[in-house]
Structure 1
Amino acid sequence: MDVALIAVMGTLLGVVATHWFQGRATERTAALARNEQLRQERIETYSAFAGAVVDYRHSQNDRWFRAFMKPGSKEAEESRHASYRQRTAARQALFRVQLVCDDPETRRLAEAAFVESHCMHDAVDEADRARRSERAKESLATFIAAAAPGVR
């Protein structure tokens, strides 16, 4: 009887230990899957934001050149409206960054990249526009550098 009791106790102990280890392994697997999904979402979101900001900066440059070359022309007006559409797309991408990014500094850098691109159409001359464009590029590069470790 003692042998049977020991065997039953050993079996129960083995079942409990197996259950505990399997539960821990399942939790680790689920946590890894969540982390990988968040990493993939951040890569997609940050890439989309960078693309939207580049497109916005390009449309701002186009807007400035068209307004500078032919102020008040139909092309200048069309370019202005196109820049509004790009601003909307960039702002939407910024909102997505703010939703998936848990680092306040990276969110601040994303906002700075958006703002730098926004200010380009106010340039007073070609040199000012070029400086603003360069600042916008640098600001986006700073955001990407800050965001990169979060997606590795």
Structure 2
Amino acid sequence: METAVIAVIGTLLGSVATHFFQRQTMERTAALTRAEQLRQERISAYSAFAGTLVDYRRGQNDRWHRAKERPGSAVAEAARIDSYRLRSSAHQALIRVQLVCDDAQALELAASAFEVTNCMHEAPDEADRSQRSEQARETLSEFIGAAAPGVR
């Protein structure tokens, strides 16, 4: 009889231990899955932001050149309207970055890159426009450098 009781107790302890370890493994797997999903979402958001900001910078340069070449023309107006569309896309991508990024420095650089790009068309001359364009490119590169460690 004692042997049977010991066997039952041993079986129960084994079941409890198995349940405990399976639960830990399941929680660890779920945490790793969530972390990988967030990493993938960050990669997607950061890439989309960089791409839309590059397009927006090109659009701002185009807007500036068209306005200087032929002020008030249909071509200049089309470039201005296109820059609004590009700004909207870039702003949406910035919001997505703000939703998934938890690095304060990267967030600040993303917002700064957007703002620098947003003000490019206000340059009074070619030298200033060129400087603003380069500053926008550099700020975007700084954002990428700050954000990259969070997705590696």
Matching residue of 1:119: 119
1:72-151 matches, within 5 Å, as 72-151=72-151
TM-score w.r.t. length of structure 1: 0.98
State the aligned residue count: 152
Unaligned stretches of 5+ in structure 1?
Answer: none
Structure 1 consecutive aligned stretches of length 4 or more whose deviation exceeds 4 Å? none
Write the distance in 1 (CA, Å) between the matches of 2:63 and 2:74. Answer: 12
Root-mean-square deviation over aligned CA pairs:
0.6
CA apart distance, 1:17: 0.3
Q: CA deviation at 1:97?
A: 0.5
Listed as ranges, the matches of 1:22-33 within 5 Å are: 22-33=22-33
Please state whether the residue corresponding to 2:119 is helix, strand or coil.
helix
The one-letter amino acid paired with 1:109 is: L
| 1:107 Cα offset (Å) | 1.0
> Can you list the C-alpha shifts for 1:33-86, whole angstroms capped at 9, x where unaligned?
000000000000000000010000000000000001111111000000000000
Pairs within 5 Å for 1:18-57: 18-57=18-57
Q: Distance in 2 between matches of 1:127 and 1:5?
A: 90
Which residue matches 1:65? Answer: 65
Q: Deviations over 1:89-115 (max 9, x none)?
A: 000000101111112221111100100
1:4 counterpart = 2:4: yes
